[in-house]
Structures are given as C-alpha cells and as structure tokens.
Amino acid sequence: MDDASSRFEERLTGLFAPDVYRFGVPLFAVSGLFVGLGWTVPAVLVGGLGVFVAAFFRNPERAIPEGDEKVVSPADGRVIAVGEVEDANGEKALRIGIFLSVFNVHVNRAPVAGRVVSLDRSGDAYLAAFNPEAETRNVQCRMGLELADGRRVDVVQITGLIARRILCHAEVGEWLERGIRYGLIRFGSRTDVLLPIGSEALVKKGDRVRGGSSVIAELAAQGTAT
C-alpha cells in the first residue's frame, strides 16, 4: 500500500500548465509592443497565436468518478483504438488509444490508483499520432502502475507529428491517486492505456472523452485474466 512519504504530489494545479509562461506570455508581450507601435495586423496575429497557446495549456479541474474498478481517461480527445494487443514480452492486454488534437487539453491523468513500478522511454520518430506505426516508433514514455492488489496497468504518452516533448512528473516508487495530473505532451499527441485482459472497454472508436472525468473501462477482477 501507499504511504504519505511516497505519494505523488500534483504539480499541475493552476488554471494553466506552467509552460504557458514560457510560450504564451512572450507572445502577448510582443503583441502589446506591436499595439504600441501602431502595427495593428501583426499585433492581432501574434495576439491570436498567444490565445491559441494559452488555450493549449489550459488545465481545468475535473470531478473524478467514484469506484476503484473504474478506469478514467488519461487524456482529453478522441478514441482511435480499442482492442487486444500483445507486447514485446508476449503478454496480452486491452488497449484503449486516445488521439489528442492541438485543440484538446493536453494534461495527462492517472487512469487508476497505483504505485509507479516502471518508467520506460523509447522511440525516435514523430509520425502523426493516429498512424498505427506511431504506437511503437514514436518517442514515448510508458508508465507502469501496480494497483494495491498487484494488478498492472500501463499508460503510454506518445508524441505526434507536432509534439516534441513529453513531460512526466511521476517517479518510480510514488503512489498516484486515480485522476491525478502527472504530466503533459506538447502540441498534439496520443495517450494509450493498457489494461489486464478481461477488462471491459466502455468506449468505442470515435468516442470523445475527457481526462479524469470519462470512465473508459471497468477493470478485470483480480485473477480473472486469461
């Protein structure tokens, strides 16, 4: 079980992810400068880009549904994959893949409560996130969560065509509460969840989901995986 000293402390708690100060504020400053110089069109264009960046890094609060067996969506976006897959070790899992466009919230949330037992980074490509090859070739960060009863759930942050950096604040050994905000991906991406075989998907391809508040699956009971 978790203890207070090893619990993950949420850092993404403001109205916007901290990255907005690095990418958005300078744009608004330049837009203000253009206004002062009387350059209306450039001011509007740069200011509009600043608004877009601020919207990208928005970080809304979400009500997390009750029920430890309910898997919440790790991200906002559109479901693009639901089905059984086999990993490099030959183990099967139920995968639910979510595509995040540049207009979605990009803060990632823990789909279940568990302890981080692994963090693996891999890949070297930046294919479009909806490309099937992106699942294995794109730069990604795979976080393994072990539930209190030993079941394993993986959540994978995957870069896209525009996305170039994955932020994962969690560290191995820390306990994450379900729905807690633990990282983000910059500018378009994909997030996958891999669940024990026997888990029931509650979404289908094409469904829109919201991170932390949409229930996307029901976990298989311990010992029922086949």
Q: How many CB atoms lie within 10 A of CB 189?
A: 31
pLDDT at residue 221, rounded to an integer? 82
pLDDT given at position 82: 95
User: Which part of the chain has CATH 2.70.70.10?
Assistant: 64-218
| Residue 184 contacts residue 95 (beta carbons within 8 Å) | no
CATH number for the region 64-218 comes to 2.70.70.10
Minimal CA–CA distance to 219: which of 146, 160, 130, 166?
A: 146
List the chain pLDDT tens, one digit each, 226 residues.
556 559 999 888 888 888 878 888 888 899 999 899 889 999 999 999 888 888 878 889 999 999 989 999 999 999 999 999 987 667 899 999 999 888 888 899 999 999 999 999 998 888 877 777 877 888 899 999 999 999 999 999 998 777 678 899 999 999 999 999 999 987 768 999 999 999 999 999 999 999 999 999 999 887 665 4
Q: What is the pLDDT of residue 103?
A: 86
Output the pLDDT for position 22: 80
Task: Report the b/e string of 131-164 with b at 16+ CB within 10 A.
Answer: eeebbebbbbbbbbbbbeeebbbbbbbbbbbebe
Measured CA to CA, the distance from residue 42 to residue 23 in angstroms comes to 18
Q: Which amino acid is at 204?
A: K
Whether the Cβ atoms of residue 160 and residue 138 lie closer than 8 Å to each other: yes
Active-site positions read 189
Question: For residue 225, what pLDDT is reported?
Answer: 54
- pLDDT at res. 188: 67
Q: What are φ and ψ of residue 108, in 5° steps?
A: -95, 145
Local structure of 192: helix, strand or coil: strand
- pLDDT, residue 213, reads 95
